[in-house]
Chains A and B, each alone.
Chain A
Amino acid sequence: MTEYRGVLICSEALQGSLAAISWELLGIGRKLANDLGEELYAFLPGRGVQPLAQELVAGGADKVFVADDPRIEYYQTDSYTALMDGLCRQLSPQIVLMGQTSLGRDLAPRLAFRQGTGVAMDCVELSIDLQDRSLLQTRPVYGGNALAVLKTETKPQVATIRPKSMTEAQRDTSRRGEVISIPVNVPPGGVNFVKKVTEEVEGVKLEDAEIISSSPGGGAWGGTRPVCDSGWLPAQLQIGLTGKMVSPNLYLVVAASGSSQHMAGCSGARNIVAINKDPEANVFKYARFGVVADYRQLLPPLTEKCKELLSG
């Protein structure tokens, strides 16, 4: 019988650096590996990513497996699944973690099913069950109305983590680890990449913004699904379960009811301020400050006063 040991993370690079999700994966991956007293492995796929291997070591990986190849610059189901599947056969990790990102949403279920095991998507908490050393996976369900605690009874135990839900690893350049290059085979598949269309939204990126408002004003903008579906805001600015996960210092929620699916996207916000004309609106349950008012009347004097305070 195979003995499953260690934790394998699938890291992601973004514009020449490790993406923020990779630091979160390192953080939780290292913790789980320590709790098990086992190794942390990191997979690093992409084009020109080799130099980032040391970053993964600095973030806590014991072994880094690099697949650096121009043919896998963009995530592609067949090649990435084949690579991860190969690594899982080689390493037999007990736990496999990815981000709940464009990559992880697609790769985690594919890999899990190929490995004959289950997967828990979009987890916000992961821990080791001390009795049987298996992974306990906590994830929001029913749009965020409830939390489910799950255990996958087959191995490896595959999970994706919700961005901004885990503590990022600290970078420590004195850490030592092994870097191993793995060969890339691109299996012929039924999907051909034609092109990528980047839809840049001007200004601060939502994921990085310190102030977000769901109405025009200072800081970055984001909105609810109806607002994006109706074309008032571009789709990339949808905040929520199926949109962006944000964690600003201030999220000014203007005229949104506070549906659990929308609020799921801003659970990392440190201060939520709600403006809604309905005193019963669910959004007030999440807010630190709230005003019951018509936003059209409230926003102009609010903007005015804030400007005055900030310039004074």
Chain B
Amino acid sequence: MLKETKPLTELQLVLFELASEHYAVDSSNVREVMRMQNITRVPGAPTFVKGVINLRGKVMPVLDLGKRLGLPGGEHGKDARIVVVEVGGQSIGMIVDGVSEVLRIPLSIVEPPSSLVTPDDLNYVIGVAKLENELVILLDLDKLLNASEKRTLSVGGRGDSQN
């Protein structure tokens, strides 16, 4: 009930960790959080695509979000989770090092990204939220998963003809 009434002053976020940094996405995009499970590797897929899993009878791609963001990282520990988000009508899983909490923050503590990150990232970083104990990087899922990927992925693709 709060989300609709105060969309401009508040953000509801899902916070998670990646390479010892804090990230967050808008909670309205997040469908569920799953434990790590066996992921079927897809040969020929972009390197940041870890593979596909069975999400209640549907085949869902899972990304290594760290790799997608160009962060250093290796094996996923036991706290690793798959955050299932819905972007542009399709479900995508993102592997993160751990999910910490769901948080509501006032927009006023969010700083635009300009001076803090490299221009390359401007595209999908909405801003940085200054919490009491930590800085949280807010990601724009639409830009992160859809716009940029679609461009690179659709080259030579077969499009939707199979649907």
Q: Do A and B bind each other?
A: no
